[in-house]
Amino acid sequence: MDSVFKALSDPHRRKILTLLRKRDLSVTEIQKHFPFTGATLSHHLDTLKRANLVITERRGQFIFYSLNTSVFEDVLKSFYSLFSH
Amino acid sequence: MDSVFKALSDPHRRKILTLLRKRDLSVTEIQKHFPFTGATLSHHLDTLKRANLVITERRGQFIFYSLNTSVFEDVLKSFYSLFSH
DNA sequence: TTAGTATTTAGATAGTTATCTAATTATCTA
DNA sequence: TAGATAATTAGATAACTATCTAAATACTAA
């Protein structure tokens, strides 16, 4: 769960997640929303992937990223457990 | 909200929050649960305080830290907004 | 008011993270 | 199959973070 909180600690990565809420996006599409290079974006995506927050699927020339909704309940539980008395 | 996620990204700081779930604790009491120095602990507490996750109150010689429950709903909303479609 | 305890702040350093450019790998299409 | 596009990986660097020791501040109690 440590990798999850680490992944969420960066505002760019959180923005990527909110972008993916609407629909799956290729790296190129995600790239349009950020000022940094593709290499940097690739690192951020890797961080999200290692935290199991996103999943990837190649569709021809593109790799699409999408939210891995199955882990969100776990994350939420962990989050609650920090605060509830 | 950035400071909140940053604050939560460190496992020691998350452990501090879980310790405070049971009851308010002085710095010395919190210290017993960690291997690092008081100076380091003080920095972690400062990070939590700046994120508005804890509040402090001096009681004589001691400073007690407690969960600032009033912000948790905000944090939770922000958290949900990352994931819900 | 002085000695002791509690906590924070200052200053330094090592490790981590975000970022870049350049090189590499994977796929598509002409 | 060659050239173009998509994405990742390698290698470097600057900024940030966690940590330490030492010094400073705040309070208590003798």
pLDDT value of residue B85: 66
The encoded tokens of residue B38 equal 């008081």
Whether the predicted pLDDT of B61 surpasses 70: yes
What pLDDT band is residue A80 in, cutting at 50, 70 and 90?
confident
Q: Which CATH class is domain B2-83?
A: mainly alpha
The span from the first CA to the last CA of chain B, in angstroms, equals 20
Domain ranges in chain B are 2-83
Mean pLDDT of A46-60: 97
pLDDT value of residue A82: 85
Whether the predicted pLDDT of A84 surpasses 80: no
pLDDT value of residue A73: 86
Those residues with Cβ within 8 angstroms of residue B51's Cβ, 6 or more apart along the chain or in another chain: B3, B4, B6, B7, B8
Cβ of A62 near strand D (distance < 7 A): yes
The encoded tokens of residue A37 equal 């290079």
Closest chain A CA to residue B22: A85
To the nearest 10 degrees (0 to 180), the angle between helices B11-22 and A72-83 is 50
Cβ contact B10:B53 at 8 Å: no
What pLDDT band is residue B82 in, cutting at 50, 70 and 90?
confident
The encoded tokens of residue A58 equal 């190649």
Instruction: Please tell me whether residue A59 adopts helix, strand or coil conformation.
Output: strand
Whether the predicted pLDDT of A85 surpasses 70: no
Q: What's the CA gap between B27 and B56, in Å, rounded?
A: 10
Higher pLDDT, B83 or A15: A15
How far is the CA of A8 from the CAs of A2, A61, B59, B64, in angstroms? 10, 28, 35, 29
Chain B residues close to A72, C-beta within 8 Å: 83
Q: How far is the CA of A58 from the C1' of C28 (A)?
A: 13
Q: What's the CA gap between B73 and B52, in Å, rounded?
A: 12
